[in-house]
Amino acid sequence: MEVTTSAFVAPAHSTLTVEVHVNGEKIIEWKFADWRQQKRVVTIPSDLLKKDKKLVLIEFNILDPISPKALGMSQDSRELGLGVSKLTFSQLSESAAERTRETQ
């Protein structure tokens, strides 16, 4: 899975931590320190994609969201974290999946 994202970070809130869960299991934790758009890649373990399941639940848990209002940036009181602009799924060969796991 490839995710194109933008994190809500600012000088007073310089990092954002995001956990990615698939079917209730945490598979990776991301740390963001830059607001610019970036791509992150996640390999979803095949055992979490059981053939008898018709639904795969993917969750992005934002551990420390904050509002622009709390930072004195604006009157926007919504707690912000991660903006996802693109989500792409592709099937990897076994060798490509192994290489990706080694770099995560």
Model pLDDT, residue 48: 83
Phi-psi region for residue 95, left (φ > 0), alpha (ψ -120 to 50) or beta? Answer: alpha
Residue 93 has pLDDT above 80, yes or no: no
d(CA 32, CA 82): 9
Instruction: For CA atoms 48, 18, 4, 83, give the dihedral sign.
Output: positive
pLDDT of 64-92, one tens digit each? Answer: 999 999 999 999 999 999 999 999 998 86
> How many separate domains does the chain show?
1
pLDDT of 57-71, one tens digit each? Answer: 999 999 999 999 999
| pTM for the structure as a whole | 0.80
pLDDT of 1-37, one tens digit each? Answer: 999 999 999 999 999 999 999 999 999 999 999 999 9
Model pLDDT, residue 95: 62
| Three-state secondary-structure class, residue 84 | strand
Q: Which residue segment(s) compose the domain that 38 sits in?
A: 2-103
Model pLDDT, residue 63: 95
